[in-house]
Structure 1
Amino acid sequence: MKRLLTCMMVGLLLQACGKNDDAPPVPEGANLVFPLENSECNTGVSINENLSQVTFEWQASANTDSYTLNVVNLETNIPQTISTAATSASLSIEKGTPFSWSVNSQNANSDQTATSETWLFYNAGSHINYAPFPAQIIHPVSGSTVQKNLSNEVELDWSGSDVENDIESFEIFFSDQNPPVSVGTTDRATTEFAVAVNSSTVYYWRIITTDAEGNTSDSGVFDFRVL
């Protein structure tokens, strides 16, 4: 009888172990290669006066069997995407225009994905000098809900970059109405600004970046809610 019980217990253990399959591999984020970050992309095949074909390249990432390339026109915020099993893909994009790009890594056996860093670049055109890249919003994230500090303030954080590295200033627009109004200006080294807020209120903000040549770029309007 004891032998029978022992065999049954062993069988149950083996059956339970058989159900604990290894977790599917989680893909890792790819390292971007080209176009370079905050650069002017001079490598491309001209299609016509307005478009050129650019080949995007990245390094293979672990546990990955396919990639999705994401390219966004920063002037129109219109995205282009393409899926591939390779570590490069070509897209036709506008000349003389700022873009962001990133790569998502996927594995067919996992429902999780990984995203690379996001790089900015200008696709080469007839420009002699380029406007700054639109400021990239860091905090608060658009659509988020945040808590004010003890001074009844929220700190706005962003980042700025420019091909010629000649950013002069950032102008901050902020209001509980859309469009927001100008509330201050910072120099190129300052990418944060504290604003007074009220609870249970939605606020709107954007950043205008200006370079030494007087060229400007607009981040677009973002919003957040205060608890």
Structure 2
Amino acid sequence: MKQLLVSLILLLLLVSCGGNDDGPVTPEAAELVFPAENSECTTGVSVNEELSQVTFEWRSSANTNSYTLTVVNLETNVPQTLSTAATSVSLSIAKGTPFAWSVTSTNSRSDQVVTSETWLFYNAGAQTTYTPFPARAVSPVSGSTVLKDIANEVTLEWSGADVDGDIVSFEVFFSDQNPPSTSLGTVGATTMKSNVSVISGETYYWEVLTTDQEGNTSDSGVFEFKVH
């Protein structure tokens, strides 16, 4: 009888201590679905002459009970955000305008938040040709500290895209002043990197001007990095 009582006590202890794991659970990043990356979104429902309602969609992510959609107007850099437990949500945004969007996953049992990739798209308007998307810094990441190579150089690398697919050139500006005033020259549409000479301990600034066949241009805005 005594042995049975001890066994019951041990079983109760195991159930109470290990039955449920109430510790933090880190959410995973959501996978974006629509609007597609570097696309023209033509499915928006017109609200008025300036706005249309676009439905953003993504796939559910593990360990997530809430999502926050962030949509940034790339002409004004003004963000709009919406929180939801669903995997789609509609938002009224400006017509004929480029946007960047991403989704942040959260879990009420964790302090960690995870953000998806950022996709760019144009919300359709009356225009028949589109300005290129602003170039995005690939390396160095803006705000980072990097090591120079044996030649005392750092490679600037960026990505560029255009709905019309007619980018013709990139012009890179680079200097230790903000905004950068020195042009490194113009490169073709298939070249998205440039080597620059740097000095340890200095902070540098760079930006990329993208031009398409119609003469439309977009400015990436200023990126910065420090050399270790």
What TM-score do the two structures reach when normalised by structure 2? Answer: 0.88
List gaps (5 residues or longer) in structure 2: 1-6
Aligned partners of 1:141, 1:203: CA distance in 2, in Å? 12
CA contact (8 A) 2:176 2:202 kept: yes
Aligned counterpart, 1:122? 122
**What is the aligned partner in structure 1 of residue 201 from structure 2?**
200
| Alpha-carbon distance, 1:172 to partner | 0.4
User: Which secondary structure does the structure 2 equivalent of 1:99 belong to?
Assistant: strand
Aligned partners of 2:174, 2:72: CA distance in 1, in Å? 25
Structure 1-normalised TM-score?
Answer: 0.89
Once the two structures are TM-superposed, the CA of residue 25 in structure 1 deviates from its matched residue by: 2.8
Instruction: Say whether residues 1:54 and 2:51 are aligned partners.
Output: no
Separation in structure 1 between the aligned mates of residue 21 and residue 168 of structure 2, nearest angstrom: 57
- The aligned counterpart of 1:110 is 110
User: Which amino acid in structure 1 is aligned with residue 94 of structure 2?
Assistant: E
Q: 8 Å contact 2:179–2:205 — kept in the other structure?
A: yes
Please say if 1:138 is aligned against 2:138. yes
Distance apart, 1:222 and its partner CA: 1.3
- Alignment of structure 1 residues 8-157 onto 2, 5 Å: 21=21, 23-157=23-157
Change (3 A) 1:225 1:21: same
Letter in 1 for 2:80: Q
1:169 paired with 2:169, answer yes
Structure 1: 5+ residue stretches without partners: 1-6
AA aligned to 2:202 is T
Structure 1 residues 82-140: Cα deviation after superposition (integer angstroms, max 9, x where no partner): 10011111111111111011111111112222222211100111111001100011111
The separation in 1 between residues aligned to 2:146 and 2:19, in whole angstroms, is 43
Tell me by how many angstroms 1:77 deviates.
1.4
Q: Which runs of 4+ in 1 moved over 2 A?
A: 17-26
How many residue pairs get aligned? The number is 220
- Taking only the aligned residue pairs, the percentage that are identical comes to 67
Tell me how far 1:18 sits from its aligned partner: 5.2
Of 57-66 and 78-87, the range deviating more from structure 2? 57-66
